[in-house]
Chains A and B, each alone.
Chain A
């Protein structure tokens, strides 16, 4: 299995809702990432988990809360989002944290989030 899967594919939520995005990989990768991608822009790093521990938080607002329950799963909990948070949320994984050749990141298809 060489895939990163993400659910749901699409999500529409109100500003008072609580929802979660899910990401799964079975490649034995020990680093997992959340990115946010706005239209016509490159992905922006949000969080990095390494060996199930949060290693990088790119000053992301607390209304985004990541969780790594085990080495195969990564969640992103959403609460009290704003319309400007509407974007494609991408999950990625790599063998270890990005350290050059052989450790490229594999991306999932993303969750298209719309905040009303």
Chain B
């Protein structure tokens, strides 16, 4: 069935280093994905999205890569800062039943 999963539940990264958070999906028809950031005590916030006609999209310090061949996407955060500490969810937003399918989430922990 449909699933969106993450490879690692927790990622610890040194401040200033780059972070890479991975996500796998199973539905080859999926064509739109969003990465959300959820800080403690807050709701998920949109970070960046990507459509299936692209394989890379860049924002401010963030890049999303989409590999449709292996049904995998990743979120790269450059020069990780303490404010990047959060849980990151990938979400398949292409489902025609009007539902978002969230991945399990990865907690990003920044080491000083």
Footprint of B on A, CB under 8 Å? Answer: 4, 31, 40-43, 45, 48, 50, 55-56, 90, 92, 97-101, 104-110, 112
Contact A106 B32 (CB under 8 A): no
Shortest beta-carbon distance from A95 to chain B in Å: 12
Option from A40, A56, A90, A110 in Cβ contact (under 8 Å) with B99: A56
* Interface residues of B, dominant DSSP: loop
Contact A56 B51 (CB under 8 A): no
How many residues belonging to B are interface residues under a CB distance threshold of 8 Å? 24
Q: Which residue of A4, A42, A97, A101 has the most chain B CB atoms within 10 A of its CB atom?
A: A42
Given contacts A41-B105, A48-B99, A109-B43, list 6 more A-B pairs with CB under 8 A.
Answer: A31-B98, A42-B105, A45-B99, A48-B98, A100-B32, A100-B93
Residues on B with C-beta less than 8 A from A56 are 97-99
- Assembly CA distance A31 to B99 (angstroms): 12
Contact A42 B104 (CB under 8 A): yes
